[in-house]
Amino acid sequence: MSAQLQHLPAYLQRLDFERAPPPDLNTLRELQRRHTAVFAFETIATLVQAPVPVDLPSLQRKLLHEGRGGYCYELNRMFLALLQDLGFQARGLTGRVVMGGPEDAITARTHLVVLVTIDGVEYLADVGFGGMVPTAPLALNERGEQATAHEPYRLDTRGDSYVLRARSREDWQALYVFDAQLQSEIDYVVGNWYVSTHPQSPFRGQLFVARTGPGLRKTLNGGSFAVHRIGAASERIELPGAAAVMAVLRDEFELRLPDDPQLPVAIERRLQVQAAERAAAQSAA
């Protein structure tokens, strides 16, 4: 039995492995591709302002037994433990999210990723970056375009840091900046505390959900549900109410929703805010 994960066989079974695979690059590629398709990125807990524990027993209970997903401090923390238990040389790193803003902004270290070393080569592995999560490991010291099952990615250097970019149409969009600074468990706890509780956290009171599939990505932002197919125009619909949102969470993202009476209330509140924001934007235009 695993020294860290008490439910390693169940974890591997969810990822469609009958037995523990060898700690090599092909395994890492398959683990990352399958993980982003099986375990949805979701912020239901921060939407209803519930606690988000990131200790391994709590994470195993939530992801493996309660039918839920999570965000980076949950998904990548579990993934890190999985890799270590399989014999990979892996450790956690933290980064600053800059997507949607200036890439030289000094934002908080709120994104957890995994650094994996295989045969002396370092790779970035990430299964917890929402709708733009890379679906394959990326060689840290390779400067050209790197292919994945979805969009191509690129790692640039900036001083002692790395900038992860994804190509969206013809543009290279900066996603986050990270470095190799040693991190420990308390760093994950502090970062997660900020993300889940701080009034200025981008996840507080928000509903973001994402999941990958063959040649596509599914995303949900409040009541806006979209399917993004590689090489095709995105399909987007605005969901009319909490019942429709909850149906999409169950049917499209395969989440088992918590029995919390505050969930539909929080969803309705979020939809009302989004409707007001759209009306304001139309008036301004």
Q: What are the beta bridge partners of residue 92?
A: 114
35 is catalytic: no
Spatial distance between the Cα atoms of 151 and 39, rounded to a whole number of angstroms: 19
- Sort strands 216-221 and 171-178 into parallel, antiparallel or unpaired: unpaired
Q: CB count, 10 Å around CB of 10? A: 13
- The active-site residue out of 85, 126, 150, 228 is 126
- Sheet of 109-118: strand order equals 138-139, 121-125, 109-118, 89-97, 171-178, 161-168, 153-158
111 is catalytic: yes
- The active-site residue out of 35, 72, 85, 228 is 72
Q: CB count, 10 Å around CB of 273? A: 14
Spatial distance between the Cα atoms of 128 and 218, rounded to a whole number of angstroms: 14
Q: CB count, 10 Å around CB of 191? A: 21
Spatial distance between the Cα atoms of 123 and 28, rounded to a whole number of angstroms: 10
72 is catalytic: yes
Catalytic residues: 72, 111, 126
